[in-house]
Amino acid sequence: MAVTIKDVAREANVAPSTVSRVISDSPRISEKTKRKVRKVMEEMGYHLNHNARVLVQKSTQTIGIVMKNSTSASLHDPFFPEVLRGISALCHQQEYNISITTGESEEAIFQDVVKMVQGKRVDGLIVSYSKKDDKVVPFLVQSGIPFVVVGKPIGKANEIMSVDNDNIRAAREATEFLIQLGHKKVAFIGEQPQFEVAAARRTGYMEALRLNDLEIEPAYIKSLDKTVLMKETVDEVMDLPNPPTGFVVTDDITGLNLLLCLREKNIKVPDDVSIISFNNTFIAQLATPPLTSIDTQIYQLGYESAKCLIEEIKNPSMFKKSVIIPTIIVERESCMAIKVK
Amino acid sequence: MAVTIKDVAREANVAPSTVSRVISDSPRISEKTKRKVRKVMEEMGYHLNHNARVLVQKSTQTIGIVMKNSTSASLHDPFFPEVLRGISALCHQQEYNISITTGESEEAIFQDVVKMVQGKRVDGLIVSYSKKDDKVVPFLVQSGIPFVVVGKPIGKANEIMSVDNDNIRAAREATEFLIQLGHKKVAFIGEQPQFEVAAARRTGYMEALRLNDLEIEPAYIKSLDKTVLMKETVDEVMDLPNPPTGFVVTDDITGLNLLLCLREKNIKVPDDVSIISFNNTFIAQLATPPLTSIDTQIYQLGYESAKCLIEEIKNPSMFKKSVIIPTIIVERESCMAIKVK
DNA sequence: AAGGGATGCGCAAACGATTTCGCTTAAAGT
DNA sequence: ACTTTAAGCGAAATCGTTTGCGCATCCCTT
């Protein structure tokens, strides 16, 4: 049995309440008593029981992180680890703890979330994705618990805090980057558009084409899901009578994958086709050739979201702010000006 | 104020204790009462307060995961996310929660761990690395809390549960794989040898050389740390008068990195030099060329470690078991038989 | 009809903190 | 010298559960 506040109190000849006040360094206790009590705590090896405190204070000092299906994507993509890193950094600094969902299916994850909030295990949550028809966010808004989503929330944005990039713009810039290099036929490969990021980037891509008076070629626009192999979609696009010379892809992994598929077809990057990807995770620079990538500052995304969340937890504000993290194009070697023939 | 067990009790005309027993589905309560109580719980929207339960039961149903410095390595390397995935899978199945450390320096992480165990926030821990002179493991053994380390623990192994690969052997096999292909000059690049994995793999590498009557060339053995650039070490090795034709590297990232550096020097893989790496994370197959890699079954590593831990938590055994996860060479395109001249 | 299990629930004491009041005691004001 | 006032601390309630023990009630025995 561990030593409790009462044991300390007895040993120090004070009341438990006094010990408690010493712990929280209350100004109502004299320095003398504090010293005495602290000494006893030290001697007895006292340690605060977190749960007991939580029970009465009703604040867990813990935030929950909900990821998307860990099986498929979340933990394979360096994205999640990186936002986690950002979140983690802030949490540590603010002395908050992190608890993550363990579910693998959407439903299981949802149940995890329910348990977290109903069981009062967390003070707030960060939802690391934004997806159409997802039950998590609606549940959270109606539960009233503070939370923030990384990405642009679907629906009534002013009731939901969020931290996001301006993905439409970023995608537009990425596409225009290729256009500026002389590419007139640029393709787009993204995640399924249920994910808001993918959708936004796709519209940014189309916007760029439109603004530059380029035709939007539906055959150039592909979205990936687990069922369809990258190789097939690359084949489909590159075997077109009039294949693209540039690709905008929504993440670095897809970029690597594309690189690989093109290599199999003996298509050279950047000589034959250029590639620009998103996220600028560490693998972008490790690719051969290193990928030009839009840095979405994932770490910051995580850091800021934790910051917003904890602010909100500490004093719930009327208005739910949303912050936009800027993006930067990081040029490497996967893009090349189109050759004039 | 949320609805408590007492509210339910009042509404259902039973005692709080009865409600509690209904929750745990005790056989001492009649089906009739159970139905009645459950109905009331449903109607009132009752949800168990996790902390209150923890306080009395003394079991948090939560395990802590300690990672190595998140800043530098942990979350950049797909290794950690992947073991997390394995851990997560088992935890979900066993209804355990996961809480991760947030510290970034070794010292901060240590403090996190102390808080977790002293504050009774977790029932057990998984230490996702094994490093020399680390304070975490010693602290855990003397605290008496159940824990398991992923990797081979330093020191008295029979007091510590662990889940690991046979890294010496795996490295020997990897090296011999190259030797079998005719390579006589094979180099080794690994993490700093404070990390047990790196050390083990290095000795496996040397063992292979010895067993095959090959000279151990110190200039071929390199270890990486943050301060030294990959490029430099590659230069050092390849600019040797008698450069190696094969590389054993201790992880896929280093493999990618090596690939990149070689490309800069216009050295072709696998034509000029062969590479075999460790872990077989997803990036191994996305490399150009795809890397031949030793699959260490990271997911299993995580899964098994969680399994051991939870078993131990449920009934602490006298002897601390340690399990070895087999490794498999996954051949891809980064190795080639040496050309006979 | 009395004794003897089962069976079904309730009482009340934990669990380890925090916190609201109120009680001393001593210093200060008049 | 007597009231005020503030400083320093303690008593006890509280947070929401679980659980050991005990008390009825009911059905069987004999």
* pLDDT recorded at residue B59: 94
Inform me whether the pLDDT recorded for B157 exceeds 80: no
How many CB contacts within 8 angstroms connect chain A with chain B? 139
B186 vs B192, higher pLDDT: B186
Q: CA–C1' distance A46–D6 (Å)?
A: 32
Which residues on B lie below 8 Å from A142 (Cβ)? Answer: none
* pLDDT recorded at residue B262: 95
Mean pLDDT confidence for B188-209: 95
Which residues on A lie below 8 Å from B259 (Cβ)? Answer: 286, 288
Nearest CA in chain B to A109: B92
Inform me whether the pLDDT recorded for B74 exceeds 90: no
Pairwise CB contact (< 8 Å): B102 & A108: no
Of the partner residues B50, B103, B253, the one whose CB lies closest to the CB of residue A119: B50
Position B155 confidence tier, pLDDT thresholds 50, 70, 90: confident
* pLDDT recorded at residue B71: 53
Are B119 and B126 a contacting pair, CB within 8 Å?
Answer: no
Position B72 confidence tier, pLDDT thresholds 50, 70, 90: low
* pLDDT recorded at residue B41: 95
Distance from the Cα of A130 to chain B's closest Cα (Å) equals: 21
* pLDDT recorded at residue A228: 77
Which residue's CA shows the smallest distance to C1' of C15?
Answer: B56
Residues B183, B211, B173: CA angle, nearest 5 degrees = 65
3-state secondary structure of A105: coil
Pairwise CB contact (< 8 Å): B92 & A80: no
* pLDDT recorded at residue A341: 57
* pLDDT recorded at residue A212: 97
Q: Is B289 left (phi over 0), alpha (psi -120 to 50) or beta?
A: beta
The mean pLDDT of chain B is 93
Q: Which nucleotides of C are covered by protein (CB under 7 A)?
A: 7-20
Query: A320 to each of A157, A197, A200, A266, how far by Cα in Å?
Result: 8, 20, 22, 51
- Return per-residue pLDDT of chain A as tens, 341 residues: 689 999 999 999 999 999 999 999 998 899 999 999 999 999 999 999 999 999 999 999 999 999 986 555 556 788 988 999 999 999 999 999 999 999 989 999 999 999 999 999 999 999 999 999 999 999 999 999 999 999 999 988 788 999 999 999 999 999 999 999 999 999 999 998 999 999 999 999 999 999 999 999 999 999 987 777 889 999 999 999 999 999 999 999 999 999 999 999 999 999 999 999 999 999 999 998 999 999 999 999 999 999 999 999 998 887 899 999 999 999 999 999 987 65
What DSSP element (H or E) covers A254?
A: helix A252-264
Of the partner residues A92, A98, A256, the one whose CB lies closest to the CB of residue B99: A98
Q: What is the residue type of B103?
A: G
Nearest nucleotide (CA of B56 to C1')? C15
Inform me whether the pLDDT recorded for B341 exceeds 80: no
Which residue's CA shows the smallest distance to C1' of C19?
Answer: A17
- Compute the distance between CA of residue A211 and CA of residue B282 in angstroms, rounded to an integer: 38
Of the partner residues B48, B102, B263, the one whose CB lies closest to the CB of residue A92: B102
Q: Say which residue the tokens 């740390």 belong to.
A: B225
Nearest nucleotide (CA of A30 to C1')? D8
Is pTM beyond 0.85? Reply is yes
- For B273-305, how does the pLDDT look when each residue is reduced to its tens digit (9 = 90+)? 999 999 999 999 999 899 999 999 999 999 999
* pLDDT recorded at residue A326: 98
Residue A327: burial class (beta carbons within 10 Å; 0-12, 13-18, 19+): buried
Pairwise CB contact (< 8 Å): B50 & A282: no
Reading the block at residue A71, the tokens are: 């099986």
Total count of residues recorded for chain A? 341
- Please state whether strand D lies within 7 Å of residue B40 at its CB atom: no
Which residues on A lie below 8 Å from B88 (Cβ)? Answer: 70, 100, 102, 104
- Compute the distance between CA of residue B103 and CA of residue B231 in angstroms, rounded to an integer: 30
- For B217-249, how does the pLDDT look when each residue is reduced to its tens digit (9 = 90+)? 999 999 987 777 889 999 999 999 999 999 999
- Compute the distance between CA of residue A238 and CA of residue A240 in angstroms, rounded to an integer: 5
Which residues on B lie below 8 Å from A259 (Cβ)? Answer: 286, 288
Mean pLDDT confidence for B84-109: 94
Which residues on A lie below 8 Å from B98 (Cβ)? Answer: 99-100, 102
DSSP A154-207: SS-GGGSEEEEE-HHHHHHHHHHHHHHTT---EEEEES-TTBHHHHHHHHHHHH
Q: Say which residue the tokens 């360096």 belong to.
A: A78
Distance from the Cα of A334 to chain B's closest Cα (Å) equals: 13
Pairwise CB contact (< 8 Å): B97 & A49: no
Helices A136-143 + A106-118 axis angle, to 10: 10
Q: Write phi, then psi, for A322 (nearest 5 degrees).
A: -135, 135
Nearest CA in chain B to A71: B85
Nearest CA in chain B to A75: B81
Q: In chain B, pLDDT over 90 holds for what percent of residues? A: 86
Pairwise CB contact (< 8 Å): B70 & A85: yes
Are B308 and B261 a contacting pair, CB within 8 Å?
Answer: no
Nearest nucleotide (CA of A28 to C1')? D8
* pLDDT recorded at residue B73: 53
- Compute the distance between CA of residue A280 and CA of residue A282 in angstroms, rounded to an integer: 6
- Please state whether strand D lies within 7 Å of residue B49 at its CB atom: yes
Q: Is A61 left (phi over 0), alpha (psi -120 to 50) or beta?
A: left
Q: CA–C1' distance A21–C23 (Å)?
A: 18
Position B317 confidence tier, pLDDT thresholds 50, 70, 90: confident
Pairwise CB contact (< 8 Å): B102 & A99: no
Q: Say which residue the tokens 């940014």 belong to.
A: A204
Whether the link from the prior residue into A290 is cis, omega within 30° of 0, is no
Are A305 and A150 a contacting pair, CB within 8 Å?
Answer: yes
Q: In chain B, pLDDT over 70 holds for what percent of residues? A: 97
Q: Which of B1, B4, B46, B50 to mutate to test binding with chain A, by most A CBs within 10 Å of its CB?
A: B50
Whether the link from the prior residue into B289 is cis, omega within 30° of 0, is yes
Domains, chain A, with CATH or none: 62-165+298-327 (3.40.50.2300), 167-295 (3.40.50.2300)
* pLDDT recorded at residue B340: 66
- Please state whether strand D lies within 7 Å of residue A17 at its CB atom: yes
- Compute the distance between CA of residue A235 and CA of residue A266 in angstroms, rounded to an integer: 12
Q: What is the residue type of B314?
A: K
